[in-house]
Structure 1
């Protein structure tokens, strides 16, 4: 069977599309090799490495999964990473964007292109993982190298399935290569419990693979512990409510904490000099020198104002004033050019542009914003998928659910607060500490695609106007929208259902 056997229009049919070695061109700049078959390609360690690099490169950035996070947003800023963030209710979007505004005001439907992009991209990546796990064991190479490489693939497959099961609920579970003759070419949905079990199984396999604690651009043991702690925390909440997983979440997060250190400067979160370092556990990697760029800065600067020398200024995701105001007085993250900014020198350097709103400096890429440099107008800021504060807050929350507030749990949260120039937490009850941790998640991990998942697992939303949490389906957000039950999940993309009559739609869609 040839690589790139045939181009199909749907995600599940993409399970039979085998990615060629050209898929790694954006990530690690591997040589272009095309027209290989499985039989003559998976014969050496270098070929296996190139293929695994391609699972990162083609799907975490570039053509496929990158569109989920930020790549290829259209002229209205309808990038799927923004779609996911808008579900949380704390951002506005460019008025011309029909799909974005339909998400904000909960009148979207299964034809929204963001739903299809994420589904299709995840299954494309899973197909590549299945092939790698099937073919690499037979390749002759050092056992430790092979085991570690397979650990990376187990991590990646878990990563994609974790997103699928949280977003869509019951999803087809495919863990072996599929060809045109496979009965799984048109699969049914698998119970979410079984999908979660597979995610855990893959991550436990990755933990036994000998991955290094940190690993630069690649999956690491720290990333495995952090992701698995998130999985266990989610499983302890809705919809599974398996509360025995709180202890497991705390144990996994605790193993990640010593491997990383908090930055002393928030600017390091989005500059080129500190990529894959410090508190950055796992990132989508970009490099303008290899023509691997993204649109995140253009998407998040104010609409149509000359802030940076970019071809577009889309204003596609702007924090609400009420969310910005929900930070505690004196919080360093709200100071100008920390997490947010409200003014900036114009692109010609002749004046200061006043926004009239607070935009995300957290994603402003200084290196590409000025003229006359090699990076001018070419943003290659990395997108962070996992970082240390998430692991710290996961540890604190999970530990609190088991033991109530402890010194270690307080220490995890208070390190984040100390960096933000806030007083440490102390003397709280278990319930008070839980709410304090939730608030810290919203403020520290703001606009990192975490909030919607927190709503799903807690069934609570952050009522920023009153600085409290309330039931998600009976508490209006700052835009006057009260979440509908159906919005706990995304709809199965309509094109998938039209192509595969074994698929059913989620309730309410």
Structure 2
């Protein structure tokens, strides 16, 4: 982006010089052109700083962008988990993700690389240029804290997806010494992530932020998740379990307005965006970008105001749906994460869908509900961190650090209580059984939120939907495709075009 700006404005300046020189306006040429959008002239006011950080937030929405016919980028982290399947199968890249036959040319892989590094690039511009702006110090510190969070968030995806990745911390141009960066070790990447988040903690951010901007609670939640991940594969820094527990406990002990919603319907109620359980989300508004989860609609069934529509390219794998206890409220029709019937055209007569579909991201305000037509404006956010995950991070990390104690038990029980599930007494658990109880709740509570794949990798374990046990990652058969996971699947391939363009990059094993 920086290169294009300079190139284009350079051509404009050259043309202006020729034109005005012929007119003899030498005095005017000594004036500074206020319309020149070069970094040196742009980053001069508080408004510029706010615009720059807004661009980073906007870039983060790449997660919801399209990835070819009947597919979106977010399916990249769902299809390989075995928890979903498709009833259209018309996108070859998506089919390859489902069948574990994806490669370095798979569109979703390319889109995630480009999306992640665009967030990083624009965050780097903020961190490089905003400190020099003469503006309110507290406002500047908050913007820098937000940029550090968003850069850490992007690198956290990158290091878990590809392992060793290029570590870029300064704005790049064709003249940069590291224009062809090599891959940095995962330890180096995690070191930057932790440093960024630690500095963001001290940036004076509000505890919560109903506008959807980064908050102190969001920073601590991401840091707890980072520590939990570092404690698992491949780093195996087990001392980080205690760090994860401590950081999650800070959120729990200082929750304030943060709480578990009373019902699962509130999780996808657009009027509750950025409130209650929602700690951090990707922001969507129909005026700019509407919620991108439409690929979870059934295939050409009239469940919305649009009538028969939808693609059915992401539906629950039936064995995963069946793995929920029949009494689990999350399994109940139109009450939890699934629906098996809905109202014709969103607001008409109830009709049977023939199978379960994913209700977790269904916006009843936009699409309609019984007797109430939809607004046709899907302003529902895409959740990144919910308070439910904080409780599960704490329960898992505290158990790993100190065994199953009362506080860890209470965190797990809160999740199960809302699902209306009985929880065995604390005394009935040992460390291993409590560990697997928490893992099971992660699969059931956080499903369809782009988290399960990363649990599979850091644990090197996969929930077996038919047995309720946890299989080793390598050799586990995904029931949506009857294909077994291999060692190479612990990492995704780097996009082939990136390797062609950058001779400093190498490919992950097996691709």
Deviation track 1:430-462 (CA, whole Å, cap 9, x = no partner) reads: 000000000000000011011000011000000
- 1:275 counterpart residue number: 273
Distance 1:350 1:365 in 2: 16
Distance 1:502 1:229 in 2: 33
- 1:54 counterpart residue number: 55
SS at match of 1:183: coil
- 2:17 counterpart residue number: none
Confirm or deny that 1:306 pairs with 2:302.
yes
Distance 2:195 2:232 in 1: 19
Q: Report if the CA contact (8 A) 2:67-2:107 is conserved.
A: no
- 2:463 counterpart residue number: 462
Deviation at 1:39, TM superposition (A): 1.2
Confirm or deny that 1:80 pairs with 2:82.
no
Distance 1:373 1:173 in 2: 51
User: What are the equivalent positions in structure 2 for 1:72-471 lying under 5 Å apart?
Assistant: 72-76=66-70, 78-93=71-86, 94-216=88-210, 217-257=212-252, 258-259=254-255, 260-288=258-286, 290-296=287-293, 298-310=294-306, 312-337=309-334, 338-347=336-345, 349-370=347-368, 376-425=375-424, 426=426, 427-471=428-472
SS at match of 1:347: helix
CA distance change for structure 1 residues 381 and 35 in 2, over 3 Å: closer, same or farther?
farther
- 2:18 counterpart residue number: none
Distance 2:348 2:135 in 1: 59
Q: Report if the CA contact (8 A) 1:464-1:477 is conserved.
A: no
- 2:503 counterpart residue number: 501
**RMSD of aligned Cα (Å):** 2.0
Distance 1:107 1:412 in 2: 38
Deviates more, 1:344-353 or 1:307-316: 344-353
Q: Report if the CA contact (8 A) 2:298-2:311 is conserved.
A: yes
Distance 1:56 1:306 in 2: 34
SS at match of 2:175: coil
- 1:23 counterpart residue number: none
Distance 2:234 2:288 in 1: 42
Deviation at 1:34, TM superposition (A): 7.8
Distance 2:332 2:4 in 1: 50
Q: Report if the CA contact (8 A) 1:161-1:195 is conserved.
A: yes
Distance 1:147 1:170 in 2: 30
Deviation at 1:369, TM superposition (A): 1.1
Distance 1:363 1:322 in 2: 20
CA distance change for structure 1 residues 147 and 317 in 2, over 3 Å: closer, same or farther?
same
Distance 2:301 2:492 in 1: 33
Distance 2:348 2:261 in 1: 33
CA distance change for structure 1 residues 245 and 190 in 2, over 3 Å: closer, same or farther?
same
SS at match of 1:204: helix
Confirm or deny that 1:485 pairs with 2:483.
no
Q: Report if the CA contact (8 A) 2:105-2:496 is conserved.
A: yes
- Number of residue equivalences: 474
Unaligned runs of 5+ in 2: 8-33
Distance 1:453 1:6 in 2: 39
Q: Report if the CA contact (8 A) 1:235-1:242 is conserved.
A: yes
Deviation at 1:3, TM superposition (A): 7.1
CA distance change for structure 1 residues 363 and 166 in 2, over 3 Å: closer, same or farther?
same
Deviation track 1:171-203 (CA, whole Å, cap 9, x = no partner) reads: 000001111200221111111110111111101
Deviates more, 1:92-101 or 1:439-448: 92-101
Q: Report if the CA contact (8 A) 2:305-2:347 is conserved.
A: no
SS at match of 2:302: coil
Deviation at 1:116, TM superposition (A): 0.7
Distance 1:136 1:323 in 2: 47
TM-score by length of structure 1 reads: 0.89
Larger radius of gyration: 2
- 1:20 counterpart residue number: none
- 2:24 counterpart residue number: none
Unaligned runs of 5+ in 1: 8-32
Q: Report if the CA contact (8 A) 1:82-1:316 is conserved.
A: no
Deviation at 1:37, TM superposition (A): 1.3
